[in-house]
Amino acid sequence: MSIDAAHRIIAERRPGFRPRVALVLGSGLGRVAERIEDPTRISYEELPGFPVPTVAGHAGSLVLGRLSGVEVLCLNGRVHAYEGGDGAARLKVLVRTVKQLGTQALVLTNAAGSLRPEVGPGSLVLIRDHINMLGFNPLQGPNDEAWGPRFFSMRDAYDPALADRFRRAATTAGIALPEGVYLAYPGPNFETPAEIRAFRTLGADLVGMSTVPEVLVARHCGLAVAALSAVTNLAEGMSDTTPSHDETLAQGAAIARSLETLILAFLESLKHGH
From CA 106, how far away is CA 263, in angstroms rounded?
A: 12
With 0-12 CB in 10 A as exposed, 13-18 as middle and 19+ as buried, what is 86?
A: exposed
From CA 112, how far away is CA 212, in angstroms rounded?
A: 13
Helix axes 245-272, 160-173, angle to 10 degrees: 100
The pLDDT value given to residue 58: 46
Active site residues: 27, 58, 80, 82-83, 111, 209-210, 233, 245
User: Domains in the chain, please, with CATH?
Assistant: 2-272 (3.40.50.1580)
Q: How many other C-beta atoms are found inside a 10 Å radius of the C-beta of residue 68?
A: 17
Counting as low any pLDDT under 70, the low residues of the chain are 1, 27-28, 53-59, 245, 247-249, 251-253, 274
The pLDDT value given to residue 55: 56
The pLDDT value given to residue 85: 74
